[in-house]
Structure 1
Amino acid sequence: MIALGSSIGMGLWLGSGKSLASGGPAGIFLGYVLAGSMIWSVSHSIGEMAVIYPLPSAFVQWTGKFVCPSAALALGWAYWFSYVITIANELQAVCTVLSFWTDKVPIAAWVTIFWVVIILVNVGAVSVFGEVEVVCSTIKFGWIFVVIFSLIVVSAGGAPNHDAVGFRYWNAEPFTNGFKDFLSVMPTCVFAMTGSKNSGLVAAETANPRKAVPRAIGSIWLRLSLFHLLGALMVTITVSPDNKDISRGSGTNASPLVIAYREAGIQPLAHMNAVIFISVLSTGTISGYGGSRTTMGLAHLCMAPAAFKKADKVGRPWWSLFITLLLGDDLAYLNVKNSAADVFTWFSSLTSLFALFGWGMVCPSHIRFRSAWTAQGRDVADLAWKSWTYPYAAWWGLIWCIVLIIVEFYLSVWPLGDHPNAENFFANYVSVVVIVICYLCARVYYRGPWWVDTTTIDLDASRRFFMSVRMWRSRPRKGFLAGSSRAVKFIFN
């Protein structure tokens, strides 16, 4: 449920409007198709490694184990900062949503109230966090069906305005501003799908990752096709890319779904702010979870203070939670004053490329994990779960991550509707600069080879052992395995 629901967030409810205006109906749909194929590929790499190595801050520890420590340090701190920024961003988005009903409550008060809510969810037992996310995911999952079926009715002319839109906007102008604007849609489409990574993060604390993770990865085609592709298609056939509210509207009024319902005359459904509110709060909560586990993983790799590796008996990393939630809240208060909004916007631009870099490092980690497994003479049949997409999907995801980082560089140097300037470049691309600096500093500290030698990787360290069917059939008939059904059940399951 977390894998299904965490991919439904502000990128789908609000971000699709900006993409529609930039790339046009065909542009945004093709953007989601291409981004979906990439995320599908990366998620299969996550699934195979998350089952056998279900670690806190999985991406960081996989990178350190299979690629190199320098890349792990750069990835870990970049990812942690993106989680902190996301917490601040979602707290501000909560204020934006609530302002639809009232503007009498100060922004600082809303930020404080819902910061406390995020804290309470994260400091409870991990089962509390899981139950809250399941409830939020169920609501979002159910609402997406309402959106899709209702917009089908709207496009067919069944709404109160009786305007059969059909594919009017596709026929009029499928691509609004050419190839360059289509490229600008791609980072937004990828960012809207980055919630799918959370199935890898929570694997470390599931009772049986061998069953839970493949089930989550196996459903990715459903959320990609149903949520993003079909959802994007419904937006493109019911909202004009030239609609002024998309570019000039503020908050939820700029949501293409709200615009579609309002223009169709279905005012009750236009008040979908409650669902958007739940999406925002859920994203903030899981960002606190992910950020704290990322610093915990860094500490276990000796890349963060040792205090961050400490957790209580139920798995709560108190110091990591404290610094992550505190800094996220502090950045959220920057939006209290209008003069600080520009500063926060500059910080927010860091997150998309940080996320893309994180997804990109999963693929080489998977490729080198398989190479190490083979190089050390192990049988692929002994893996607890293996993806049928390897190696093609892993290479596909890696190549597209590299391509999109290059595309973002191109758009930062030659921005849409503006002349090249240093301010615009650093505002949009400084995250890559930060990653490169972190990596080079780590290289100076760690020295050694650029890549970890696959023949020297300890494949059994931090591994969760499972008994394959082949091992079960060839098990000894006498001794420990034969005499202890409880032990056999634990290992086999």
Structure 2
Amino acid sequence: MLLSKSKSPEDVISTPVESLESSKSSPYIPDDNTNLKRELKPRHTSFLSLAGIIGPGILVGASLALKNGPLSLLLGFSIIGIVAMIMMQSLIVLIMNYPTGGVFSSLGCRVVDPAYGGVVGWCYFIVFVTVLANEYNTTAALLQFWGPQVPLYGYILMFWVAFLGFQFLGVGVFGEAEFWLASLKIIGIFAFYIFSIVYMSGGIKGQPAFGFHYWNDPGALANGFKSVVATFVYASTFYSGSEIPAIAAAESKDPRSLPSVVRNTVFRIIFIYIGIAIFYGATVPYNDETLNANTKALQSPMSIAIKRAGWNGGAHLINAFIIVTCISAINSSIFIGSRTLLHLANEGQAPKLLKTVNKHGVPYFAVILTNAFGLISLMNISTGAANAYNYIVNISGVAVFIVWGSVCFYHIRFRQAWAAQGRDANDLTHKGLWYPYLPIAGMTLNIFLALIQGWSYFKPFQAKDWVDSYILLPFSIVLFFVLKIVNKTKWVKLHEADLDTGRFVG
């Protein structure tokens, strides 16, 4: 299904400055394409970008990445962080010019091929249903630490119902909850940083100062370059969610606040991810038995560090903190996944039923379907949390690289179409840095990472993990041709690309 014909500038589906200013007297500014409600305030979108997606991955799943060594953790987080920042430069161009929330699918349909936009949209959905499953997995495992008498599936199903009901309350309630939960997460991480510095410096009674001793004993890398490559897939999954401004744009009261929201991502990368990599590697050796334990539940490096410092009861505090991050991350994952489905349905790349919204502007069928995929977490019952996490993260990692590379590709195609139609680049709401070099670099790096991320499974060859790492690449190609045949789509010619529908003017 192709997009509708381009409209004249007067009929553009956008939110002009006048409408934004009039929002003070009107509680909602409906989106003409999706009937979503613009209820997210700048502080909501800012904190969503800064800490809304910080969840059990960075706090618990990082234990599996740390097993590769502290240097691999730092390099992996730094390299993927640079790639994420490059991608965000392209993303801000797209969402500032088209703040309709459909960047991943809609713009692909408009400037590349509707089938291509469908593939990218579905890959983005896969990222967040896999992340969602891991979040349910972690939450249930942590609750069993306190209440082992309740079966794992019992906790998962209770949370499943609770989060489903919460999502139906509307995006305004979601945004306010995320603002406060994100604030708590930032405070908690900052507290861990202070603890780590005190612990490393010998400030805890009975514990000598050891600094970065674990970088020498047992060492910085567990398996050389292989360790660094193995960390890429974890890091990409942990960084997924940096793109949330693109989804939240459709429900933002003021798209003009989006540049500052995206700039917060740089702060997030430096302060949170690089900081976490440094302090995890400094306080926990990669050969710690707890990291390598083959148990039903994953252990957070934070909990391990506090126990090593001699405070066994501190694990309860860390678990409570992680539960808070899980609540926030699950909410955000359902939000992103459901809105992605809505835009896919709006472009004819998913069943039309998924774009149905209730009076609060919530796409409830899309919410139900997204949350249903969270039940993949039940595989934890038979495989154990560590194995379940590995299976799921391998799939989501390559999906992130596909999406990020495609965002850079969209940026290039958009600017080429803009020039092909004789338009002046100075008329763009936002042009981005160092075009075209930065998006070309971003596209190249993501292709490279998508191909190399399963390299550690070649020697010795691990067929199951290798297939898990690369299955999305052939799947995406097959899906592209299926959507192309079913919807009879055509590759969009640059001079015919629809650059007016949904464009923000103001």
TM-score range, shorter chain: 0.7 to 0.9
Provide the C-alpha distance between the structure 2 equivalents of 1:239 and 1:177, rounded to a whole number of angstroms: 17
CA-CA distance at 1:445 after TM superposition:
4.0
Which blocks of at least 5 consecutive residues in structure 1 are unaligned? 467-493
Match of 1:436 among 477, 502, 506: 477
Q: CA 1:430–1:150 in structure 2 vs 1: closer, same or farther (change >3 Å)?
A: same
Aligned to 1:88: 133
Structure 2 residue 197 is matched with structure 1 residue 152:
yes
Deviates more, 1:166-175 or 1:335-344: 335-344
Of the three residues 436, 461, 473, the one matched with 2:501 is 461
Alignment of 1:419 onto 2:461: yes
**Alignment check: 8 A CA contact 1:253 1:259 kept:** no
* Equivalent residue letter for 1:425: W
Map of 2:65 onto structure 1: 19
Letter in 2 for 1:439: F
| Of 248-257 and 268-277, the range deviating more from structure 2 | 248-257
| Mapped partners of 1:340, 1:4: distance in 2 | 27
CA offset at residue 110 of structure 1?
A: 1.3
Once residues 334 and 253 of structure 1 are traced to their aligned partners in structure 2, the CA distance between those partners, rounded to angstroms, is 15
Look up the match of 2:444: 399
- Who is 2:42 aligned against? none
TM-score by length of 2: 0.84
From 309, 326, 332, the equivalent of 1:280 is: 326
- Structure 1 residue aligned with 2:272: 227
For 1:225, the aligned partner's letter is: I
Distance 1:253 1:88 in 2: 14
**d(CA) in 2 for partners of 1:108, 1:320:** 23
2-structure distance, mates of 1:435, 1:369:
22
Aligned length: 458
- Deviation track 1:367-417 (CA, whole Å, cap 9, x = no partner) reads 1112222222222222223323433332222122111111124334x05xx
- Give the C-alpha shift of residue 17 in structure 1: 2.2
Cα distance in 1 between the residues matched to 2:310 and 2:166: 38
Aligned match of 2:432: 387
CA contact (8 A) 2:111 2:413 kept: yes
Structure 2 counterpart of 1:184: 230
Is the contact between residue 252 and residue 258 of structure 1 (CA under 8 Å) also seen in structure 2? Answer: no
Secondary structure in 2 matching 1:120: helix
- 2:206 alignment partner, one of 157, 161, 164: 161
**RMSD between aligned alpha carbons?**
2.4
The correspondence for 1:197, drawn from 221, 227, 243, is 243
Q: What is the Cα deviation at residue 193 of structure 1? A: 1.0
Match of 1:308 in 2: 354
* Cα deviations by residue, 1:253-293 (Å, 9 ceiling, x for unpaired): 62211111111124454331112112222222112111211
Task: Give me the whole-angstrom Cα distance separating, in 1, the residues matched to 2:228 and 2:134.
Answer: 26
Q: Deviations over 1:52-101 (max 9, x none)?
A: 21223431112222222221122222332333333333222111111221
- The code of the aligned residue for 2:501 comes to A
Amino acid at match of 1:306: K
Moved more, 139-148 or 104-113: 104-113
Question: How much does 1:250 deviate?
Answer: 4.3
For 1:426, the aligned partner's letter is V
Matches within 5 A, 1:269-348: 269-270=314-315, 271-329=317-375, 331-336=376-381, 346=391
Q: Percent identity?
A: 28
- Contact 2:109 2:116 (C-alpha < 8 Å) held by counterparts: yes
Question: Cα distance 1:250–1:344, how it changes in 2: closer, same or farther (>3 A)?
Answer: closer
Alignment check: 8 A CA contact 1:334 1:344 kept: no
Cα deviations across residues 419-467 of structure 1 (Å, max 9, x unaligned)? 353x343233222222121113234445665x4222111111122221x
Query: For each residue in 1:331-376, what CA deviation from the matched residue of structure 2 results, as whole angstroms up to 9, or x when unmatched?
Result: 3444455699978964554222222211221110111112222222
Q: Distance in 1 between matches of 2:498 and 2:439?
A: 22
Counterpart of 2:111 in structure 1 is 66
Q: Distance in 2 between matches of 1:319 and 1:176?
A: 46
Within the alignment, does 1:104 sit opposite 2:138 as a pair? no
Q: 1:175 and 1:338, CA in 2 relative to 1: closer, same or farther beyond 3 A?
A: closer
Residue among 109, 117, 132 paired with 2:177: 132
1:123 is aligned, of 168, 174, 189, to 168
Unaligned runs of 5+ residues in structure 2 are 1-46
Structure 1 letter corresponding to 2:468: A
- SS of corresponding position for 1:240: coil
Structure 1 stretch displaced more, 195-204 or 332-341 = 332-341
**Helix, strand or coil: the match of 1:145?**
helix
Tell me, yes or no, if structure 1 residue 78 matches structure 2 residue 119: no
How far apart in 1 are the matches of 2:389 and 2:215?
Answer: 36
Provide the rounded CA distance (Å) in 1 between the counterparts of 2:223 and 2:387: 27
- What CA distance in whole angstroms lies between the structure 1 residues aligned with 2:99 and 2:145? 41
Cα distance per residue 1:278-315 (max 9 Å; x no partner): 22222221121112111211111111222222223432
The alignment's TM-score, normalised by the length of structure 1, stands at 0.86
The CA distance in 2 between the partners of 1:258 and 1:252, in whole Å, is: 13
In 2, the alpha carbon distance for the partners of 1:342 and 1:187 equals: 15
Residue pair 2:247, 2:340 contacting (<8 A) in 1 also: no
